[in-house]
Structure 1
Amino acid sequence: MPKAFSQQERERIEARLIGVGKRLINKAGIRFLVVDDVAREAGISKGSFYSFHPSREEFILAVFESWEKEHRGALIREVTEGQGSFRERLERFFIGAFRILEKEPGLATLGVKDIQMIMERLPPERIEAHKAADDRALAEAFGGRAGMERFPPTLLSALQGLAPALFAIALHREDFPPESYQATVKLLSEALAARIAADVEGFAATAAPAGKGETS
């Protein structure tokens, strides 16, 4: 029977598990990640591992989410606190989002089949929780609930599918002709930023008194 841990112990062990997972995935990729190795290096039994994560796939997703969280703060600050116009900040945000996969060796080795394998083995509620977290992060980048009120409804609907769309493009980066991926990322980032900024500014102009519709 797995050992019972206090809340503080669980937090420390979870941090160790995620750290071990990152190191092993960076070293060999997700296909060679073995639960026995993770548990042993984290100093717990295999049975105890499953009291933290119900499956290997859920653990892999938790590791990916930790990586995502590490980079997300900087991306959000780029929009909320960065220099330049709203459009310029958005452009840097999207370029940064595309490049998250390039910054971590473990993420850089991901392929479409790897993602499909993980998603097929996760319960629907876990996938929905992950998507909801992405939506919250996107909302935070655009100023939280109050900030999102500046967005026209049609744009809000489109933004909900933006994170997985960007991720899918980044996953297929090896399918691009040589030297074209970065140029494509820049072009897409510019186009997305320009369209979103224009829609937000246009919506603000129709909703606010004359002279008060400018987006900061």
Structure 2
Amino acid sequence: MPRPWSEKEKEIIKKNLLIEARRLFEKYGLQKTTVDEIARAVNISKGSFYIFYQSKEELYFDVLEDVEREFKDKMFKNAFEPGMNRRKSFKSFLNQMIDLLITMPLYKEITSSNYELLLRKLPEKTLEEHMQRDQEEVSKFFNYWMDQGWMKKVDIEALNGLFLSLIHFVIHRDDFKGSNFEAAKDLWIDALANYLIIEDDKAEEIKVK
């Protein structure tokens, strides 16, 4: 009988699971990647895989969170580009965010059908913790933008809900026919930027007051 893994060995295996799973998910997609393939890539048995994760969907979600952290800080920190009109800059940020959701290998897997499957497979606690972390991370940027006078002061929870509904809109893009998605996307972006973002001259007036 093999000896049990030490905590350090478990930490290394968990890290390798995230690395190899990301490679396989990006190459083959969530549905076509199997637990056997993931376990083999990390050199553990299929049974050992379930010591770390209840399902491949739970691992996929962890990988997705890592990817989110990679681009979230970069995108949100650079949302307002120096020298560019704030509303134009914010529209550019939203367009980039949506493009990433549609084109990045892991994100483009999340269509309405795959998303529902993912939610059914994940423990409720995992989803709740993810939502909490996500809202806390994004709220830091919203609060900073409001404090700088770049964004209208609105209820943070409502603003988080608004951005979440935008992400759901992108996830369900396959439900739109023809050019409706692009037209609706542009309308979403215009509405958000025009309502939330304070023009440069108005922001200066607020600071003076």
Normalising by structure 2, report the TM-score. Answer: 0.79
Aligned to 1:4: 5
SS of 1:170's equivalent?
helix
Q: Which amino acid aligns with 1:6?
A: E
Distance of aligned partners of 1:95 and 1:72 in 2 relative to their CA distance in 1, 3 Å threshold: same
1:212 aligns with 2:201: no
Q: Which amino acid aligns with 1:100?
A: L
Superposition pairs for residues 31-180 of structure 1, below 5 Å? Answer: 31-79=31-79, 83-144=83-144, 147=147, 152-153=153-154, 155-180=155-180
Distance of aligned partners of 1:163 and 1:62 in 2 relative to their CA distance in 1, 3 Å threshold: farther
1:23 aligns with 2:28: no
For 1:143 and 1:10, locate their aligned partners in 2 and report how far apart those are by CA, in whole Å.
Answer: 38
Q: Which amino acid aligns with 1:5?
A: S
Q: Which amino acid aligns with 1:74?
A: K
For 2:136 and 2:187, locate their aligned partners in 1 and report how far apart those are by CA, in whole Å.
Answer: 26
User: How much does 1:129 deviate?
Assistant: 0.9
Deviations 1:104-155 (A, max 9, x none): 22321332122112212322221111111221232133255984997645x4
Q: Is the 8 A contact 1:112 1:172 kept in 2?
A: yes
Q: Is the 8 A contact 1:80 1:143 kept in 2?
A: no
SS of 1:32's equivalent?
coil
Distance of aligned partners of 1:188 and 1:64 in 2 relative to their CA distance in 1, 3 Å threshold: same
For 2:175 and 2:113, locate their aligned partners in 1 and report how far apart those are by CA, in whole Å.
Answer: 14
SS of 2:178's equivalent?
coil
For 1:145 and 1:93, locate their aligned partners in 2 and report how far apart those are by CA, in whole Å.
Answer: 14
Q: Is the 8 A contact 1:35 1:46 kept in 2?
A: yes
Q: Which amino acid aligns with 2:52?
A: F
Number of aligned pairs?
206
Measured on the aligned residues, the alpha-carbon RMSD in Å equals 3.3
For 1:143 and 1:131, locate their aligned partners in 2 and report how far apart those are by CA, in whole Å.
Answer: 18
Distance of aligned partners of 1:119 and 1:43 in 2 relative to their CA distance in 1, 3 Å threshold: same
Distance of aligned partners of 1:160 and 1:198 in 2 relative to their CA distance in 1, 3 Å threshold: same
Q: Is the 8 A contact 2:112 2:171 kept in 1?
A: yes
Q: Which amino acid aligns with 2:207?
A: K
For 1:2 and 1:122, locate their aligned partners in 2 and report how far apart those are by CA, in whole Å.
Answer: 31
Q: Is the 8 A contact 1:75 1:93 kept in 2?
A: yes
Q: Which amino acid aligns with 1:212?
A: K
For 1:122 and 1:2, locate their aligned partners in 2 and report how far apart those are by CA, in whole Å.
Answer: 31
Aligned to 1:187: 187
Q: State percent identity of aligned pairs.
A: 26
Q: Is the 8 A contact 2:152 2:198 kept in 1?
A: no
- Which consecutive residues of structure 2, in runs of 5 or more, have no partner in the other structure? none
Q: Is the 8 A contact 2:152 2:197 kept in 1?
A: no
Distance of aligned partners of 1:139 and 1:81 in 2 relative to their CA distance in 1, 3 Å threshold: farther
Distance of aligned partners of 1:212 and 1:106 in 2 relative to their CA distance in 1, 3 Å threshold: closer
